[in-house]
Amino acid sequence: MPSLASPPPSYDDAIIKKFCIATVVWGAVGMLVGVILALQLAWWPANLGLEWTTFGRLRPLHTNAVIFAFTANGLFAGIYWSLQRLLKTRMWSDTLSKVHFWGWQLIIVCAAISLPSGWTQGKEYAELIWPLDILIAVIWVLFAVNFFATIAIRRVKHLYVAIWFYMSMVITIAVLHVVNSLAVPATLTRSYPLYSGLTDALVQWWYGHNAVGFLLTTPMLGLMYYFLPKAAERPVYSYRLSIVHFWSLVFLYIWAGPHHLLYSALPDWAQTLGMVFSLMLIAPSWGGMLNGLLTLRGAWDRLRTDPILKFFVVGITFYGMSTFEGPMMSIRAVNALSHYTDWTIGHVHSGALGWVGMTLFAMLYWLVPRVWQRRLHSVPQATAHFWLATVGIVLYVVAMWVAGITQGLMWRAVDEAGQLQYPNFLDTVLTLIPFYWIRLLGGLMYLGGVILMGWNLFKTATAPAEAPATAQEVSA
Amino acid sequence: MSDLTQQDSWHRRVLEHKAALMAVLSTVLVSIGGLVEIVPMFTVEQPAIAAGHGDMAPYTPLEVAGRDIYVKEGCYNCHSQMVRPFRAETKRYGTWSRAYEYQYDRPFQLGSRRIGPDLHRLGGKYPDAWHWEHMIDPRSTSPGSIMPPYTWLAEKTVDPEDVQASLTALQTLGHPYSDADIDGTAQALSSQAGQIIQNLSTAGITAAPESELVALIAYLQRLGDDRPEEEL
């Protein structure tokens, strides 16, 4: 049994509760918007005939909510918990922690208003308008100050591997965000980027790809390195592997952005660099995956009963799958088929739903009972969530693979006379509609699982205090 | 595993006890790739593109207004503006996209998913009236289309002062607008819109010249229209 020991009173756990709640709430909101978008593609009247609810305005809301509201809040919850414990010190400033939390939620609320209003920079995953970009930069810097100051006052000399990954996120996201967002404002809600055309495209995908790298990958690996050994009660498999894959990952990742621009008018040398470095990324990515999976050696039997380990294993497996798929899609010949199709959408979701989602769920099921010092309300419900999520992802991803490859092949199909076999673009769209319904079903299952988790964790946190007595005994 | 307990490995001694050094090293490592890829775009590629085709006209005020609407409505979420150099693509859309054609595109709108077709060679493909009908009721021109209708674009109007603010910002960024161009924004808007209104009225469509949809049509008709004579 994992112990329910209460933390020494010197840790700030109130901030972790806040971030946990925000993760679940924004996760449900962001995924609900995703489900609405899935419905809109299968059945266009779901655009509702209103300017605020069209696909074009809601999709940025979905992507921003899942990346910057669900994932980022989850990362912050895990980082504030593990950083304090790994360094055996309270956060340097509780005030800065609070400013970070409320500032971040303010940004999310502003995004929820501005994006449906059509106030956008028009760059994928960087849509927020310039005043919000400034706010993000300020809040992030305050978080960075608190983060590094906490490291400076640490009472443990050694920095555990999780912290290396967190550190690379804090630094890199700041650089990416600032460089990509530089713009000249025309009005309060509109600005024009400093870069134009393909330079803008290259900067944007350097940002976009590495937002995936340094928000959805490296800090998530950091969480894995802390919470997986805790949940499995096994030490990390290989210390040496963690060193090798950390340094190679942070070095190689940043180069891969141009794989989003293959066969564009971007200079060939840049495209080739993007492709080659994407292929090299398999090695450090799988280093992380293997180190995670092998950490479970000797604990595999607990997979039958422990939903937390189930979530971890499927999450890490999806990490391995999508970090194999990504490099494959970066090969020019494959990209020629996959680019601009739903294959890309499937790939993103195997990363976001599979790796990020499942890992954060595992963390929340482990963390919430410990922060609130209650026993998890229902293990069967957590197991039900696991199956809903897993089947949901599989439906989603397989539907998108089939849809993507189908459409890609239809676009390029020519008859014996060399004429396009499907000259009417719409023919290639209407073929996909059945798969869009399957995707909707998968998304609904995944969302249903998250709502079930929200209920389970709510009941956990609000349960009458019976555990604390035990916890006090343990810590005394 | 033997390496689980390597308490005195060089990595631990040199780096894991020194947070600042680790932070600096991480920063250096993540900077290299970006610098190698992005800096040459400014120093070599972009100037070469501009020098080769420096005479390309910037967007007119009405096209700027239309492009802002294109960005605002998030058209890039479903439409690309990048024809790849494949036979199947050039047959479907027209000649492949050149680098210089994007030189006044802020933000770039290459897109990442074609839920609808590529639009980079859309200009001149259909009459203005087709675009009007298509935006009001996509299924009237394209049976089975899954695009939502954009009826409000016909009602909403373009504010000349707003466009002026855009042109001023773009001028700051080096787009070749003279001060006189910017002063004449309102006039330029109405004269180009007047042309489109006229085209629409011959098809039996009554439209206000300041409507957002007219500006959007101006932009859509401009797309893919910038190839020099010898490439057409």
pLDDT tens per residue across span B61-99: 999 999 999 999 999 999 999 999 999 999 999 999 999
Where does the pLDDT of residue A472 fall: very low under 50, low under 70, confident under 90, or very high at 90 and above? very low
Structurally, chain B folds into a number of domains equal to 2
Report the gap between the CA of B203 and the closest CA in chain A (Å). Answer: 24
Closest CA to A133 of A87, A85, A181: A181
Which chain B residue shows the shortest CA-CA distance from A184?
Answer: B169
**8 Å CB contact between A126 and A135:** no
Q: Which two tokens stand for residue A407?
A: 């459409």
B12 interface with A at CB cutoff 8 Å: yes
Report the gap between the CA of B73 and the closest CA in chain A (Å). Answer: 6
Give bridge partners of residue B211 from the DSSP assignment: B157
Whether residue B10 is found in the same domain as residue B88: no
Burial class for A10, CB neighbours closer than 10 Å (0-12, 13-18, 19+): exposed
Does A190 sit within 8 Å of B91, measured CB to CB? no
Rounded to the nearest 10 degrees, the angle between the axes of helix B128-136 and helix B212-222 is 130
> Using a CB-CB distance cutoff of 8 angstroms, which residues of chain B are in contact with residue A274?
37
Between CA A130 and CA A152 the distance in angstroms is 33
Where does the pLDDT of residue B4 fall: very low under 50, low under 70, confident under 90, or very high at 90 and above? very low
Residue B2 pLDDT > 50: no
Query: What integer pLDDT is reported at residue A9 of this predicted model?
Result: 54
B195 interface with A at CB cutoff 8 Å: no
Closest CA to B146 of B223, B79, B90: B79
Between CA B79 and CA B85 the distance in angstroms is 17
Where does the pLDDT of residue A469 fall: very low under 50, low under 70, confident under 90, or very high at 90 and above? very low
Does A44 sit within 8 Å of B30, measured CB to CB? no
Which chain B residue shows the shortest CA-CA distance from A234?
Answer: B4
B53 or A441: whose pLDDT is higher?
A441
Each residue of A310-353: pLDDT tens digit?
999 999 999 999 999 999 999 999 999 999 999 999 999 999 99
Residue B112 pLDDT > 50: yes
Residue B198 pLDDT > 70: yes
Question: Average pLDDT, stretch B186-200?
Answer: 97
Residue B97 in 3-state DSSP? Answer: coil
Whether residue B17 is found in the same domain as residue B97: no
Question: Average pLDDT, stretch B190-212?
Answer: 96
Query: What integer pLDDT is reported at residue B13 of this predicted model?
Result: 83
Query: What integer pLDDT is reported at residue B229 of this predicted model?
Result: 55
The superfamily CATH assigns to domain A14-462+468-472 is Cytochrome c oxidase-like, subunit I domain (1.20.210.10)
- Of A60, A168, A265, nearest to B97 by CB-CB distance is A265
Question: Average pLDDT, stretch A70-99?
Answer: 98
Query: What integer pLDDT is reported at residue A215 of this predicted model?
Result: 95
* Domain hosting residue B108, numbered range: 61-231
| CB neighbourhood size of A252 (10 A) | 22
Does B92 sit within 8 Å of A423, measured CB to CB? yes
Query: What integer pLDDT is reported at residue A471 of this predicted model?
Result: 44
> Using a CB-CB distance cutoff of 8 angstroms, which residues of chain B are in contact with residue A120?
71-72, 74
Residue from A192, A281, A435, A440 to probe the interface with B (highest B Cβ count within 10 Å): A192
Where does the pLDDT of residue B49 fall: very low under 50, low under 70, confident under 90, or very high at 90 and above? confident
B10 interface with A at CB cutoff 8 Å: no
Question: A170: which residues sit within 8 A by CB, 6+ positions away?
Answer: A140, A143, A144, A147, A148
Which chain B residue shows the shortest CA-CA distance from A238?
Answer: B4
CATH code of the domain in which B136 resides: 1.10.760.10
Does A336 sit within 8 Å of B84, measured CB to CB? yes
Query: What integer pLDDT is reported at residue A333 of this predicted model?
Result: 96
Does A159 sit within 8 Å of B16, measured CB to CB? yes
Does B86 sit within 8 Å of A239, measured CB to CB? no
Where does the pLDDT of residue B230 fall: very low under 50, low under 70, confident under 90, or very high at 90 and above? low
Report the gap between the CA of A468 and the closest CA in chain B (Å). Answer: 34
Q: Which two tokens stand for residue A428?
A: 């290639």
Residue A473 pLDDT > 70: no
Residue A408 in 3-state DSSP? Answer: helix
B81 interface with A at CB cutoff 8 Å: no
Whether residue B68 is found in the same domain as residue B123: yes
Burial class for B226, CB neighbours closer than 10 Å (0-12, 13-18, 19+): middle
Question: Average pLDDT, stretch B141-152?
Answer: 97
Does A247 sit within 8 Å of B30, measured CB to CB? no
Percent of residues in chain A assigned helix, strand, coil, to nearest 5: 75, 0, 20
Q: Which two tokens stand for residue B4?
A: 């689980």
Report the gap between the CA of B190 and the closest CA in chain A (Å). Answer: 21
Which chain B residue shows the shortest CA-CA distance from A421?
Answer: B88
Whether residue B161 is found in the same domain as residue B224: yes
Q: How far is CA A221 from CA A74, A121, A217, A296, B136, in A?
A: 13, 30, 6, 15, 48
Report the gap between the CA of B151 and the closest CA in chain A (Å). Answer: 8
Residue B231 pLDDT > 60: no
- Of B26, B37, B103, nearest to A168 by CB-CB distance is B26
- Of A167, A425, A429, nearest to B26 by CB-CB distance is A167
Whether residue B70 is found in the same domain as residue B166: yes
**Number of CB pairs < 8 Å for A and B?**
270
Return the residue matching tokens 């197991």.
Answer: A383
Query: What integer pLDDT is reported at residue A290 of this predicted model?
Result: 97
Query: What integer pLDDT is reported at residue A2 of this predicted model?
Result: 46
Whether residue B179 is found in the same domain as residue B77: yes
Whether residue B200 is found in the same domain as residue B156: yes
Query: What integer pLDDT is reported at residue A4 of this predicted model?
Result: 54
Whether residue B134 is found in the same domain as residue B207: yes
Q: Which two tokens stand for residue A101?
A: 């939390």
ipTM: 0.94
| CB neighbourhood size of B56 (10 A) | 16
Whether residue B127 is found in the same domain as residue B227: yes
Residue A409 pLDDT > 60: yes
Query: What integer pLDDT is reported at residue B225 of this predicted model?
Result: 62
Long-range contacts of B123-126 (CB under 8 A, 24+ apart): B123/B220, B123/B221, B123/B222, B123/B223, B123/B224, B123/B225, B124/B221, B124/B224, B124/B225
Closest CA to B74 of B40, B111, B38, B121: B111
CA torsion sign, A212 to A215 to A218 to A220?
negative
Report the gap between the CA of B128 and the closest CA in chain A (Å). Answer: 20
Report the gap between the CA of A458 and the closest CA in chain B (Å). Answer: 36
Residue B44 pLDDT > 90: no
Residue B228 pLDDT > 80: no
Q: How far is CA A92 from CA A48, A81, A191, B104, in A?
A: 48, 13, 37, 47
Residue type for position A223: L
Whether residue B33 is found in the same domain as residue B71: no
> Using a CB-CB distance cutoff of 8 angstroms, which residues of chain B are in contact with residue A123?
107-108
Whether residue B34 is found in the same domain as residue B131: no
Does B11 sit within 8 Å of A158, measured CB to CB? no
Which chain B residue shows the shortest CA-CA distance from A165?
Answer: B26
The lowest-confidence range among A103-107, A364-368, B39-43, B130-134 is: B39-43
> Using a CB-CB distance cutoff of 8 angstroms, which residues of chain A are in contact with residue B104?
196-197
Between CA B127 and CA B133 the distance in angstroms is 10
Where does the pLDDT of residue A208 fall: very low under 50, low under 70, confident under 90, or very high at 90 and above? very high
Whether residue B35 is found in the same domain as residue B86: no
Q: So where are chain A's domains? A: 14-462+468-472
Query: What integer pLDDT is reported at residue B45 of this predicted model?
Result: 82
Does B77 sit within 8 Å of A412, measured CB to CB? no
Residue A366 pLDDT > 50: yes
Cα angle B147-A118-B81, degrees, rounded to a multiple of 5: 55
> Using a CB-CB distance cutoff of 8 angstroms, which residues of chain B are in contact with residue A412?
86, 88
> Using a CB-CB distance cutoff of 8 angstroms, which residues of chain B are in contact with residue A254?
30-34
Query: What integer pLDDT is reported at residue B16 of this predicted model?
Result: 87
**8 Å CB contact between A199 and A51:** no
A10 or A276: whose pLDDT is higher?
A276
Where does the pLDDT of residue B52 fall: very low under 50, low under 70, confident under 90, or very high at 90 and above? confident
Where does the pLDDT of residue A10 fall: very low under 50, low under 70, confident under 90, or very high at 90 and above? confident
Query: What integer pLDDT is reported at residue B10 of this predicted model?
Result: 86
